Amino acid sequence: MDKSRMIGIVALCLLLVLPATVSAIGVSGTKYMGSITPGGTDTHTMTVSLGSEENPTDLMVEVYGFGQNMDQGYSALNPADDVNPYSARSFITLDNSSFHLEPGTAKSINAKISVPANAGPGGRYALIYIHALPGKGQSFTTAVLVPVLITITGTTPTVTGSITNLSVGEVTAGQPITVTTTLKNTGNYHYYHTVNTVTVSDANNNPFGNFSTQPSIYAVIPGNTVQYTVTPKLQNLPAGNYTVDSKVLLEGGTVLDEKNTTLSVKANYIPPVTESSITLTPQGGGTLISPDGRFSVLFPQGAVLGDGVVTLKPYAKDKLEPAPANAKPGATCFEITGLTGLLSKDATVKVTYSADDLAAAGGDASQLKLSYFDAAQGAWVILPTQVNTQDMTLTTTTNRMGVWAVMVSSSTGVGSPASASTKASLPAVLSIVALAVTAIIVGSTARQRK
């Protein structure tokens, strides 16, 4: 993760944990999109306002290069890092770069954009960064990026892109298959609303379906590289080799680039569990079972004290808390939500383990255990588990739900808590505040073009 992206994430977290110390600024004119002839000028006006209930605030306005993260979000580039030949950073001058706002007041900033007479074809790009400075009891303040996208009038834009990498994530039973496509804008002009379409086909070229991203809300800037992630909802796949074809399309369907790779399935692939729910009442029990029958939870009568909907959901293995020292995770994990606290009576949890779970145990099914993560203790609880090698099932009883996983372990009980290095304490987070002042928070909403 690059530094600007990391700082942006910290900033968003701090907005949640320090609501009483945040000064929220409002900005109009949060994007410039205009056409300017070589040698011509234009002016973009932004108005920064402070709510009547906010703290008095000092603000700064700065011009940066137009960077872009792999997730397509925008990031500000310092002058030393802004080496893009399509940069407009040097074209922009501000009539006011620092000012003070009292609650309930506003200030306008004019950005003069001067395009050199020898400007080449296509587009030019920069970001205007408006941010409040800490002070007067504030620990952190909001910030807004204003994208500047200039079209050089009278020139012909080149709209091209190249897929520089296509990768397929690990194929594991019960986990989604992730296809990641990396695209570089190789032209001289930006494009919006790109779509990534992925097709998976067998050896006879029979497709299992087309899977696509939603149209991107971000512009892809010339010279920048972004990624698209598609998770094909594939059903059971027999072992074998498959072809994965990836296309990135412009709005309207024009293909920017296409690339394919091989998906190798070593053992029959089983898709993630499909979400399912059951309504429980104190008067009656019930069985929550996945549509494919691989997961089930039997709740006896009187297990709950009030009516409620309990849901079985898929859970990504890479989001699991670290396993204890005496265990390692298998391939299967899932989540049961809708219950708070303990059950009045133990439920019976039954899971069909996969070939990947067995492989993780070195072929010794007796090492497979069902476990849940106890958030209060910050540790996994590995439960006594009955193993049936005939139907490949694991069964246990418990009065706790939450996040579950098949663990490989020779023992049961509460495992060691998750490593302290994986947990960020509040003091540690607060120590980053000084660095986070330069965080970038994109000001446009997800319903608009960025």
Of 58, 433, 449, which Cα lies nearest the Cα of 217? 449
Question: What was the pLDDT predicted at 142?
Answer: 78
> Could you write out the DSSP letters of every residue in 72-97?
S-EEEE-GGG---TTB-GGGEEES-S
Looking at residue 283, the DSSP 8-state letter turns out to be T
Q: What are phi and psi of 91, to 5 degrees?
A: -80, -15
Question: What was the pLDDT predicted at 444?
Answer: 39
Looking at residue 366, the DSSP 8-state letter turns out to be G
Q: 3-state DSSP call for residue 7? A: helix
> Could you write out the DSSP letters of every residue in 108-156?
EEEEEEE--TT--SSEEEEEEEEEEEP-TT-SEE-EEEEEEEEEETTS-
Class of the CATH-defined domain 161-265: mainly beta
Q: What is the pLDDT of residues 83-120, one digit of tens each?
A: 999 999 999 999 999 999 999 999 999 999 999 999 99
Element (H, E) at 16: helix 3-17
Say how far apart CA 28 and CA 25 lie, in whole Å.
Answer: 10
Q: What is the pLDDT of residues 201-248, one digit of tens each?
A: 998 888 988 899 999 999 999 999 999 999 998 877 888 899 999 999
Alpha carbon 237 to its chain's center: 27
How does 117-139 read in b/e, with b if 16+ C-beta sit within 10 Å? eebeebbbbbbbbbbbebeeebb
Question: What was the pLDDT predicted at 416?
Answer: 62
Could you give the C-alpha distances from 297 to 7, 126, 262, 318, 369, in angstroms and in order? 42, 55, 37, 24, 16
Q: Which residues of the chain have pLDDT under 70?
A: 1-23, 135-141, 416-450
Please enumerate in sequence order all residues whose Cβ is within 8 A of that of 257, keeping only pairs 6 or more positions apart, or say none: 161, 162, 163, 183, 247, 248
Say how far apart CA 32 and CA 115 lie, in whole Å.
Answer: 14
Pick the CATH number of 276-418 from 3.40.50.300, 2.30.30.100, 3.50.50.60, 2.60.220.30: 2.60.220.30
Domain ranges of the chain: 3-156+428-436, 161-265, 276-418
Three-state secondary structure of 379-421? EEEECCCEEECCCCEEEEEECCCEEEEEEEECCCEECCCCCHH
Question: What was the pLDDT predicted at 424?
Answer: 39
Question: What was the pLDDT predicted at 445?
Answer: 37
Say how far apart CA 223 and CA 187 lie, in whole Å.
Answer: 8
Q: Are strands 386-388 and 92-94 parallel, antiparallel or unpaired?
A: unpaired
Structure tokens at 37: 């002839």
**How many CB atoms are located within 10 Å of the residue 295 CB?**
23
| CATH number corresponding to 3-156+428-436 | 2.60.40.10
Question: What was the pLDDT predicted at 440?
Answer: 36
Q: Which residue's structure tokens are 């972004």?
A: 226
Identical fold for domains 161-265 and 276-418, yes or no, is no
Q: Which residue's structure tokens are 């029958």?
A: 293
Question: What was the pLDDT predicted at 19?
Answer: 39
